[in-house]
Structure 1
C-alpha cells in the first residue's frame, strides 16, 4: 500500500502526490527547468550522493556543443533545432540540461539513506533528479515521434503539408514504444507542448503544438490558402467573383480530400477574419492590401506574450462597435451591408514594437480612451503584418485604402497617419 503523507492537515496518497508534482514539473518553461537542474546538481555533493549517482546524456542524442552567438539569440526559446541531411532529419538539442540523465546505484542509495542522519534531504534531491530524468525522457520521445509523424512539414516548413495529429494519437504512439519507461498519457503530452518549441531547418521557430494540429486547424490552413489564392486569381482575372462557401467545400473535397460541411467553412472563415463572398466582392481593394496579415487572435496579455513579436509592423484591431461610436461623416456606412463589410475594424496603426504598442492599447496607456473602451467591452481581436520598411508609410497606405474601400476611416483613428 502506498505511503500516506500528511499535508495541510489532510492525508494525501504518495502516488497521487507524485503525479501532481510531475504534472507541474512538465509544465515548467525551459529556463526554470535549467535553473532547477543546476541547483539540484549543486546539492548532490553536500548530501553525500556523489558515490550513488552519475550524470550523463540520454542515449543517442545530439547536442549543439558550440552555438553561435547569433544562433543562440535567435533560438533562445527553442528546445531543439532540426537539421536536414539528405532525406533524413536530425534533432540537435540546444541545451545540455534538456538531455541530462542520471543513473543511480540503487543498492548504495538505499544504504546511504538508511545510515544518513538526514534521509529527508537525500530523498528530496533524489526526487528532483528522477523528475528531471522523467521529463527529459518523455520530452525526447515526444519530439522525436512528432517530427517523424510530421516529416513532410518539418522538412519543408510548408504548413499545407501538416497532417492531423492529435495529442491522443501521439500518446497512443508513444505507449507502443518498449524503450520508453515513462507513462505518456495525453495530459502529460499536453503540458509539454504548451511550453516547448523547435527550430525548423529554415530557422523558423514554431511551438511543438504546431506539430500536433487537430483536423479543424488543418482545414483552417486549407481555407486560408484557398482564400489567398482567390485574391491572386481575382487580380489575374481567372475568377470573376469571390468563392462562395459551397465553392470552398467543393475545392476541399476534390483537391484535399477533406469532407467539410458548409457551416464549418463559414465558422472557419469567421475565425480567420474573412467575410462572406458578397462582402469580399465589395471590399476587394482592402483584402488585397492586407493579404500578408496574420490570422485574427484575441487581444489579451497571453497573446501578446506568445504570439505578437516585439518587432516593427502594422496592425488592425477589431471589436464590437456600438452604433453610438459612428462618425457623423460616415456617409451611412452603418447600413446593414456596409456594416458587414467593415467587420468591426475599429483601428489601424503601426509601431516599431508591436508587442509594446498593443500592450499600451490593452492597458489604456495609449491616450485613446475610446479605443481602450471598445477593446475592453468588445472582445477585441488583432491581426498584424511585420514590415522591414518604414511602418508609418505602410500604415498610411493601408489607412487610405481602407477609407477608399469603406468610405470613412476606422472609428478610433482620430487623424490620418
Structure 2
C-alpha cells in the first residue's frame, strides 16, 4: 500500500537525516521515504503501461511495413503453398507407388488395382487388398455393391471417390492404372448422423441428402450412396433404395456406386441394362468367416451380421438366441421373386409400355385369404365367433409346426400358399 520505505525504530529517530520524508507512524517505529525512492516507485508502477504503449508502437510499425509489401508477400505465400502441396503429393506418390491417371471427357471411371490412400497407410500387420473399379455411363452406370458387414464396402466406395478427386486435382493416384472421366460434382451419402438441435432424425438427414443428390446430379456426376433406406422399416427402406437406383439409372445415367444390405436389389441387374452387381468376398470356415476384401462380379446373398456381432463381443447367449431366431425367420419367410408376382407402379416420366420393376411381396397366407373373403355384413355374432375360433386354431397349428421345424435335427419342406383361382 505504501510502496518503498525505510523503517526506523523510535530509539534511532534522532539519527534520521533531515531530507527523509515521514510517511507512516507505528507504535515502535516510523517509516520514511526519499525523493529517489519515490521516483523509482513511480517508474516501476508505470512500467507496465509504458510496455503496452511500446509494444503497440512496434506492432503498428511492423503492420505498416507488411501492408506496404502485402502483394509481394501474398504472392510468395501462394507460391510456397503450391510448392508445398506439389512436393507433398510427389513424395507420397513416390513412396506409395502411385501412377499418373489418364484424364478424359468420357463418362467412365476405370481403375486397376485401386487402393484407399489413407487406409493402406494405417494398416498394421495386414496388407491392403487392391480392387478394380469399372463404371461407364453407357453400359455400367450403376454398381450395386453387396457383401457382409466389415467386409470393406464403404472402403471400396470411398476409394473410388478419392481416386476421382485426386486425379482431377492433378495428383497421381493409388492404383496400377486409372482412366478418370471428368466429373462435374462428386456426391456422397455415407455414414449416419442426426441434428437434434433442429429436430432432424438420422433418417430425415439421410433423405434430405439423397434429395439433394437426385435434384442436382447430372450424367457427368459421380454418386456414392451407402445403405440408403436403412433408417426406416425394411419394406419402406427397400422400396426407397430401389426407386433411387431406378431414378439414377433412367433420368441421368450418373456413374453410381450403391452399397446396400437389401439383397433384393441385386435383381435390378436383370431388369435395368446399365446396372451391374459386385460383392465383397468372404470365406466361411465353420462358424467363422474370413474377410477376403476382394470385390468380384455378382451379388451376395447374406450379410453375416451375427458373425460380426460375435467378433464385437456380444455375449454367447445373445449370439445363440439370434441364430435360433434367424433360422426360424429363414424357415418361415417366403419372399416372392420374379416379375410374374407383382410390379412397381410406373414412374411418371417413363414411356407407356416400358419395363416396370418387380416389388418383392409376400403372398397371402390361408388365414389372410379367409379374412379377405369374409362377408362381414351378412354374418351373425355367432358366425363371427365361430370363424374367429377357426382362424385362431389354424394360427395355433402353424405356430406349433414352425416351432417343431426349427428344432435341431429336423428338416422342413416349406409350402407356398397360393390363391384359389376359383
- Pairwise TM-score range, normalised by the shorter structure: under 0.3
| Bigger radius of gyration among the two | 2
TM-score (normalizing by structure 2): 0.23
